[in-house]
């Protein structure tokens, strides 16, 4: 359910005339160290070097980080990157939600992740670029754990704008990590001569080998621009000069397009056509790519501007117009049911009314798919903006908080919502009360929770649909945890029969899946595994939804108790 641009998971392709850094590549690949930390300022070729390293090995995983400041978002994104190279790889971070409040949560999660990675039968490199975008301490601790206890089949390569963190110094001292700094990334005199085609010591002395500046010089030379006076300017002036020279040679229509489109970190031609009221944005983007005007084609139909180029364009853009364009993009992606992108631009443009609508449209599907981290970001944005919550959003937030185990705040949301609800909105009422029952289970008693659930069961119009499952599964969960295993088994069998008679095979299979948990509590490990394996053909969204009630954890324990350690890890 995570919407990750493919460019973030794909090794960048080499560009024409790219200088291959053979010595640096050899230093990285031939080092026995299990981790490599490459850092330098913008334009020092970190991404280029990392992509060259990745292209020089048989198997490589590529991940461009983008401020994944939620532990579950980070792990899900990392796993998506691994899966891009190894489609058979399977790891679900949401299964570890019950442990997120434990002091050793990071070691539990990291240990499980490492064990799963080690099931891959080949050696490979994992590249994590833009590490400096990560600020969340839990994510940093997880990465540190991966460096401290690396999978036996993996070498990690990190790219960052920040110098080596203090936490990593011990690994460098022990030889478990090598560091490449801005000094190593800078072009040598020989490399500059190869790039420009001539030797000019003043260019080297002035740029100090800054790769981006050298490449800018090359662009100017290819466009017959004199550079004799450039070395008298400061670096800031060089930055301005080069971009001005580039933009000054473009048509007014192209310059206008650049300034308006710069507010989007990912450029989709179809979206830009609609938002900018144009018909030729794809041709314009292709023109920019073909002329090497700091535009990169990331995948079919998608583009991006070089970060520094984009920053320069944003400085020239009309801020009010930028906000309006992002709101239009939000509506475009909402209409096309691309809710992750829609929410991102809604937050960026502070369009909280539309963010509210996005959440209410898709939060149930996101919960079913186990995509809690993204929902958390959206709710936090509403909270930070002090948006007045209505009963719909209060119930949505209460459901989200209940599923991630934050029952105190979930209860507060539900208590605020219930008096405001319309009695005719039965689905909303049931949703609120189901999560109220979860709160009662955790803060009062199983008996009080079951009492509320029994009242809901009596009010069901259809006792064999998905709504019925949402109610009854909570009671089954209560019965198992309250050691009423026989009652749980009888109720589950009763619901399976009801669903079969009603012809609702989908919900019938959901209840059958929970038999693997009930059988585990009954002590019948063989049956627990049987019901799990019987329903392995459930789709991924269903698996994630049913996994909220921890079925996979009990099956793993059942495999372990039967002596099948390999399956317990998988």
Q: What is the pLDDT of residues 74-122, one digit of tens each?
A: 999 999 999 999 999 999 988 898 888 889 999 999 999 999 999 999 9
d(C-alpha 389, C-alpha 416), whole Å = 9
Tell the burial category of 554 from Cβ atoms under 10 Å away from its Cβ (0-12, 13-18, 19+): buried
Residues 64 and 163 in one domain: yes
pLDDT of residue 226: 64
Residues 470 and 532 in one domain: yes
Domains of the chain: total: 3
d(C-alpha 371, C-alpha 540), whole Å = 12
| 299 in a structural domain | no
pLDDT of residue 229: 53
Residues 175 and 196 in one domain: no
| 496 in a structural domain | yes
Residues 146 and 105 in one domain: yes
pLDDT of residue 225: 65
Distances (CA, A) of 427 to 180, 456, 489: 57, 11, 27
Residues 198 and 100 in one domain: no
Residues 179 and 212 in one domain: no
pLDDT of residue 28: 97
User: Which stretches of the chain score pLDDT less than 70?
Assistant: 1-2, 206, 224-245, 292, 299-300, 307-308, 423, 567-570
Distances (CA, A) of 529 to 94, 522, 551: 21, 13, 11
Residues 194 and 47 in one domain: no
Q: Do residues 421 and 429 touch, judged by C-beta distance below 8 A? A: yes
pLDDT of residue 179: 95
CATH number reported for the structural domain that contains residue 15 in this entry? 3.40.50.300
The whole domain housing 506 covers 460-570
| 489 in a structural domain | yes
CATH number reported for the structural domain that contains residue 513 in this entry? 1.25.40.10
Buried b (16+ CB within 10 A) or exposed e, 301-315: ebbbbeebbbebbee
**Distance of alpha carbon 157 from its chain centroid, rounded?**
19
Q: Do residues 255 and 247 touch, judged by C-beta distance below 8 A? A: yes
Question: What pTM does this model have?
Answer: 0.62
Residues 30 and 68 in one domain: yes
């Amino acid at each position: 359910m995570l919407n990750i641009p493919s460019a973030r998971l794909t090794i960048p392709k080499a560009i024409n005339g790219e200088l291959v850094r053979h010595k640096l590549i050899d230093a990285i690949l031939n080092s026995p160290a299990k981790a490599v930390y490459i850092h330098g300022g913008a334009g020092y070729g970190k991404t280029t070097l990392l992509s060259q390293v990745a292209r020089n090995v048989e198997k490589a995983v590529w991940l461009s980080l983008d401020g994944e400041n939620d532990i579950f978002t980070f792990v899900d994104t990392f796993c998506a990157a691994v899966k891009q190279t190894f489609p058979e790889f399977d790891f679900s971070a949401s299964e570890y939600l019950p442990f997120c409040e434990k002091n050793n949560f990071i070691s539990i999660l990291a240990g499980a992740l490492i064990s799963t990675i080690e099931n891959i039968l080949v050696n490979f490199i994992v590249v994590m670029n833009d590490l400096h975008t990560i600020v969340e301490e839990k994510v940093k601790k997880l990465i540190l754990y991966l460096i401290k206890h690396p999978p036996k089949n993996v070498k990690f390569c990190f790219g960052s704008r920040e110098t080596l963190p203090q936490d990593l110094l011990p690994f460098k001292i022990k030889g478990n990590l090598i560091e490449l700094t801005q000094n190593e990334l800078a072009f040598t005199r020989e490399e500059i001569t190869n790039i420009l085609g001539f030797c000019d010591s003043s260019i080297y002395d002035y740029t100090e080998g800054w790769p981006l500046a050298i490449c800018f010089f090359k662009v100017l030379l290819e466009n017959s621009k004199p550079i004799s006076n450039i070395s008298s300017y400061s670096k800031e002036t060089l930055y301005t000069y080069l971009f001005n020279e580039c933009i000054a040679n473009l048509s007014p229509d192209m310059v206008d397009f650049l300034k308006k489109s710069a507010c989007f970190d990912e450029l989709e031609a179809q979206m830009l056509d609609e938002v900018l009221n144009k018909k030729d944005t794809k041709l314009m983007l292709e023109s920019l790519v073909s002329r090497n005007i700091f535009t990169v084609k990331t995948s079919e139909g998608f583009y991006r501007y070089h970060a520094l180029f984009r920053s320069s364009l944003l400085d020239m853009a009309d801020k009010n117009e930028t906000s309006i364009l992002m709101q239009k993009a939000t509506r475009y992606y909402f209409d096309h049911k691309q809710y992750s992108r829609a929410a991102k631009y809604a937050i960026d443009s502070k369009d909280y009314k539309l963010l509210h609508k996005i959440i209410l449209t898709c939060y149930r599907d996101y919960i079913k798919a186990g995509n809690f981290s993204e929902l958390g970001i959206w709710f936090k944005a509403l909270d930070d903006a002090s948006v007045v919550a209505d009963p719909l959003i209060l119930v949505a937030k209460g459901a989200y908080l209940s599923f991630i185990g934050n029952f105190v705040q979930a209860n507060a949301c539900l208590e605020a919502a219930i008096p405001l609800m319309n009695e005719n909105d039965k689905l909303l009422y049931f949703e609120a009360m189901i999560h109220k029952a979860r709160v009662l289970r955790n803060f009062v008693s199983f008996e009080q929770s079951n009492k509320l659930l029994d009242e809901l069961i009596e009010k069901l119009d259809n006792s064999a649909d998905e709504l019925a499952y949402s109610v009854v599964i909570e009671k089954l969960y209560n019965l198992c945890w309250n050691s009423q295993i026989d009652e749980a088994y009888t109720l589950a069998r009763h619901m399976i029969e009801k669903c079969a008679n009603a012809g609702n095979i989908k919900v019938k299979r959901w209840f059958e899946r929970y038999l693997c948990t009930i059988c585990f509590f009954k002590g019948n490990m063989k049956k627990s595994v049987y019901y799990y394996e019987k329903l392995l053909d459930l789709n991924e969204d269903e698996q994630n939804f049913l996994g909220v009630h921890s079925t996979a954890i009990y099956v793993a324990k059942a495999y372990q108790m039967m002596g099948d350690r390999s399956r317990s890890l998988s």
